[in-house]
Structures are given as C-alpha cells and as structure tokens.
Amino acid sequence: MPQEQLGQAKLALAAAGLPASQDKGFEMMQGDQGFGTSQFVENARYQHALETELARTIGQLRPVREARVHLALPKPSAFTRQKQPASASVVLQMQAGSALEAGQVDAILHLVASSIPDLAPDRVTVVDQFGRMLSNPDPDSEAARGAKQFDQQRRQEAVYVQRIQALLEPMTGPGRVSAQVSVDMDFSQTEEAREIYGQDPARVRSEQISENGRLAAAPTAAAQGVPGSASNTPDPAGTTPVSVPAATAATPAADGGATSRTAVRNYELDRTLTHTRQATGRIRRVTAAVLVDNLPGAASSGKPTTRALNAGELARIQTLVQQAIGFDAARGDAVSVVNAPFAGAPQAEPQAAPLWEKPGARDLLRTVLGGLAVLLVIWVVLRPAFRQLLAPKPHYTVATVVDEPMPLQAPEPTRTRDPEAARKAASFEEKLDVARTAVNTDPKRVAQVVRDLVESDG
C-alpha cells in the first residue's frame, strides 16, 4: 500500500469497526515460547488464549458488539475433597438498541460451559455493559419462575390477538380492528395416582381343594361258649358235643368316622392403575374484547362516509372470534364485540414545502446548473479559440525581382518621433515578446491568466 494512502485506510477500517480486538488467541501459542518460560507462564498464556477465543466466538452474535470472558480455573488436585469447581464470567457490550433474548443468553451459557472441563452452566455469569445480570444463576427460584410464567402468558395473549386481527382485517379493512385478550393460566404442578378395580364377574384363576377324613371300623362276630378252659379243651373220644345256645355279647354303636375338606380359590381381579401428571401452563380461562370501527359506506356528494355494523355482522364477528381463541363455555370463557367509530388522530394543517423540496425543483436546478456549466465552457475555452481563428492574418506580398537596375532615389527625410511615443511603442513590443515567449514555454499558466481575466471581466 502506498504511504500516502495509509491514513485513509486506517480511517476506513476504524469506521468499519476493524480491527475489533488486538488480543491474540491461540495464535500466540504458535510463536517462540523461549527456553526460560515457566509452566506458570504457559498456563497463563493458554488461559488468556482460551478467553480470547471465547470472546471472539460470542462477539459474532448480531446483538453483541464486543465481549470479554474471564475464567476461574482451579488447579487440578488428586484429592476429591479439595477439588474446586470452575467458574466463568462474561461481560457483553451490546449494539445500540439491541438486546439479547432468553434463548441467546442460554446459548452463551452452554457455549462457555461446554468449552471448559468440569464447568456447569449455572457457574457462568453474563453481565451487560450497564451491570445488569442477564443470566439467572438459579433457574428454579421464585423470581425466575415468575418471569418465565409471565412471559409465557403474554406470548399466549399475543398469539390470540394476532389470530383475531388476521381473521377480521380482510373483512373490515386494515386498522379497523382493535383486540385485547386476557388469558388465565394455571402453572401448578399436579400428580395423580389412581387404582380402579373393575366390576366384571369374578373369574377363578386357580383352585386348590384338600380333604382329610377317618373311616369307620368293620363289625366283628360275637364270642360263643362257656368261658374258661373247658371250652378250649377238645372233647374225649366217643363223646358228642352238646350244643349250647350262643350268648349274645353287647356290641358298640356304629362309628361313621370324621372328615375335613379345605378349598382355596384365587380369583382374577380387573384392576386399572393410572398415574397422571398435569402439564404446567394449562389455560384456565380466556376473555377477549374486540372493538370494530365503522365500515366504509356509500359516498355521498363526493365525501367518504361510514356506517355502523348491524346485529348480524356483529354476531358473525363474535362467532369468528370464539372460533379463533378456542372458546369453551365450560371453563367460563367470555367474548365481547363492540362497534364504535374510531377517533382519528388530529390532522395538522399542511405547511408549504420549501422550494428545494418541491418535486420539480431538483430537476430545474440540475438543468440550470448544466446550462451555466455549458456557458462557462464556451466563455473560457471556446471564446479565446474563436478570437484566434477570426483574427486577421498578416498579408505578405511577394516582390517581383527585376534584372533592370533600380533607379536611385533620394532618401526620405528623417521624421522626428516623439520620445514618449517611441518609449511606449518599445515597451509594448517588449511586452508582446514576453507574452509570446510565455505562451510557448508555459501554456497552462497563460490559460489560467486568461481565465482569471475573463472571470474578472464577466
């Protein structure tokens, strides 16, 4: 780059915001570290390079003009009890009129946390140039939950308003519908466990029967004969036994025995187990108020007029609004549609526009300036040229050479000239010679002198 253009190049780069930062990132690690560099210096350089690279990455976001990152990295320790968690802080300088959304702040938190080992997103703090904390270290706090719920409720209301306007403006015309929607949302967390037994007839799944009993003893014959040894001794030879009537012995009563029976039956039960968790942000009630302007009517006497909506048109609009917001009478939703003329903004009296702001003023000025430029060119350039062309040229006569001797003539009497006139004539001739010499040697300067003379005459 030439030396004379260096200043302009610096101004152009400064106007474009370049260079954004003079800090070096990982490129500083590529340089010569030297033999005397200690481990502490190497670690400090690496941490500074890491901070610079993170700042460059965050600075590429559109709302961010400049970013600085500070890392607090503890020394590694072999003892788990002495291990300290890492932390980081980010300072953002925003563009004029720009702000970060909640999703962009979360993206910065996770970007920094994922770039550093053992760094959790809740250990990262993001602050803007005004000292306002953009990151909430405790997302489960009451303030964070309240802000999130409020934002969700406002977004839901804005969605309903956009639906109503997009549905009614094609019918009424742009700017003739004003709607406001209020949404009551339930952010409570509810869990429900329910066990239901069916009413179907019982079905036997398994059955086990066991029986225990003692059977009765069989009846025995009654004892006969004379008690004693005689009845057990055989008869002597030649004797005939004598039949003695049997004596009937008393018999015990008949015993039927004891019996026990046990049955175990398992029935199949129809059971339903339900575990329900209610989602947060459930819509509890919706109310909508819609204001509709008068519709354009038939023009009378060349002036536009408006007319009020009739009952049928209001009923149709109310039905459309109910369908747009998902009207549910069971939860107590309400929709109100009112027709009223809109009060327009007061119109100020039109002021006369300046001459240079009129539509044809610029064209007229451009034409006048062009004509003046043409006249200037004619006066400065063409006029001297025409003068030189139209100036009378000196006429030279060729004398006829005659071989005859010319007669001697008497010398003319010497005329006595006025000394003052002679001095003026000599001075004019000298000035003319000087002018001719200047024209031949420096024509640009002569042209500038002529231009100045013409401008002074004009």
Closest CA to 320 of 182, 172, 175, 174: 172
Is residue 125 classed as helix, strand or coil in its secondary structure? strand
Residues in CB range of 258: below 8 A, 6 or more apart: 213, 214
Helices (H), 254-343: 311-325
* pLDDT band at residue 251 using 50, 70 and 90 as cut-offs: very low
Is residue 249 classed as helix, strand or coil in its secondary structure? coil
CA distance 337 to 318: 6
Peptide bond preceding 19 in cis form (omega within 30 of 0): yes
DSSP string, 250-312: P-PPP---EEEEEEEEEEEP-EEEEEEEEPSSEEEEEEEEEEEPPEE---BTTB--EE---HH
Could you tell me the CA-to-CA distances from 199 to 144, 162, 206, 272, 434 in Å, in that order? Answer: 48, 50, 20, 11, 134
Closest CA to 281 of 381, 151, 121: 151
CA distance 294 to 105: 46
CA distance 69 to 59: 11
For 374-391, what is each residue's pLDDT tens digit?
Answer: 788 777 776 776 676 666
Closest CA to 103 of 138, 50, 56, 148: 148
DSSP string, 35-49: TT--HHHHHHHHHHH
Is residue 287 classed as helix, strand or coil in its secondary structure? strand
Predicted local distance difference test score (pLDDT) of residue 167: 93
* pLDDT band at residue 441 using 50, 70 and 90 as cut-offs: confident
Rg of the chain over all Cα atoms, to the nearest angstrom = 61
Mean pLDDT of 73-99: 83
Is residue 21 classed as helix, strand or coil in its secondary structure? coil
* pLDDT band at residue 403 using 50, 70 and 90 as cut-offs: very low
Helix, strand and coil content of the chain, in percent to the nearest 5, comes to 40, 20, 40
Mean pLDDT of 438-449: 73
| Backbone torsion region of residue 211, taken as left when φ is above 0, otherwise alpha when ψ lies between -120 and 50, otherwise beta | beta
Answer yes or no: is pLDDT of 397 > 50. no
Predicted local distance difference test score (pLDDT) of residue 98: 85
Structural domains of the chain in order of their starting residue, each with its CATH number: 22-137 (3.30.300.30), 154-188+279-295+308-339 (3.30.300.20)
Predicted local distance difference test score (pLDDT) of residue 379: 78
For 336-345, what is each residue's pLDDT tens digit?
Answer: 999 999 886 5
> Chain-centre distance of CA 88, in angstroms?
24
CA distance 233 to 228: 9
Judge contact between 349 and 308, C-beta under 8 A.
no
* pLDDT band at residue 250 using 50, 70 and 90 as cut-offs: very low
For 31-72, what is each residue's pLDDT tens digit?
Answer: 666 666 787 778 888 888 899 999 999 988 888 999 999 999
Predicted local distance difference test score (pLDDT) of residue 207: 80
- Could you tell me the two tokens for 49? 């390079």
CA distance 169 to 176: 7
Name the pTM for this structure: 0.45
Mean pLDDT of 152-176: 93
- Could you tell me the two tokens for 443? 């024509």
CA distance 317 to 187: 31
- ∠ CA 23-26-27, nearest 5°, is 75
Note the residue count of the chain: 458
* pLDDT band at residue 449 using 50, 70 and 90 as cut-offs: confident
- Could you tell me the two tokens for 360? 């044809």
Answer yes or no: is pLDDT of 74 > 60. yes
- Could you tell me the two tokens for 121? 């997103």
Judge contact between 299 and 348, C-beta under 8 A.
no
Judge contact between 86 and 71, C-beta under 8 A.
yes
Residues in CB range of 145: below 8 A, 6 or more apart: 187
